[in-house]
Amino acid sequence: MRRLVLLAVLSILPLAGCSLAASPPTPKPVPTIRTEGQDVKCAGGDHGIEEVQFGWSWCYPSTWKFQERLQPTSAPAGVDATFDIVNDVPSGQAGSGDFGFLIVGTYQIGGAADLKAWVSTNIGAGEQLTPISWGNSRDAEQDARGRRFALTDSHVVEMDVRGDAIAAEMAKRLASWKFN
């Protein structure tokens, strides 16, 4: 009797193993925030980043590797996207070892009539600003420290780059910025 039960159990085990192997694969989560710019058109092999929730996109060198973090801000009200950037090219090649830190702040316009008024209220009165061209912004200015400010239809965007080599590459790509 024991033999019959043992034989019955052993004959069922292969069938159980087959049914386990045939189970459907576990679904993988899909990101809800698109940060790699599928809709960003970049020249010269550059890659694009698009932050749909903040209304901006831009191009960067394809050799850059970065980690992005988001931090809400209260003064001025908005969000800072920070990027730790490393130029990932082999040792001995131009740009090897370049690194930097980029802050892209996206802030509420509030009651400011124009970009100069916003900067005066939120950054500091008397700040010396120089007009620049920055993507499709309505107005753009740069301060004496190199911070850039853009007025868009719905926000003020600030770009602060730390690291000379990374800052130089970002300056070359100001025209690639799109503000929605």
Task: For residue 21, tell me if it sits in a domain.
Answer: no
Instruction: Please report, for the domain that includes residue 113, its CATH number.
Output: 3.40.1000
> For residue range 120-136, what is the model confidence (pLDDT) as tens digits?
999 987 889 999 999 99
**Other residues' Cβ atoms within 10 Å of the Cβ of residue 114:** 12
| Least confident stretch, 59-63, 81-85, 124-128, 145-149 | 124-128
Residue 67, domain extent: 30-179
Domains in the chain: how many in total?
A: 1
Instruction: Tell me which of 16 and 124 has the higher pLDDT.
Output: 124
> Could you tell me if residue 157 is left (phi over 0), alpha (psi between -120 and 50 degrees) or otherwise beta?
beta
Cα within 13 Å of Cα(126), Cβ side? 0
Asked if residue 136 lies in contact with residue 68, where contact means CB atoms within 8 angstroms, the answer is no
Quickly state the pLDDT bin for 25 (edges 50, 70, 90). Answer: low
Residue 110: φ, ψ to 5°: 65, -145
Task: For residue 24, tell me if it sits in a domain.
Answer: no
Please report where in the chains the tokens 């970002």 appear, as a residue: 170
Query: pTM of whole model > 0.95?
Result: no
pLDDT at 27: 46
Residues 158, 149: Cα–Cα separation, whole Å: 4
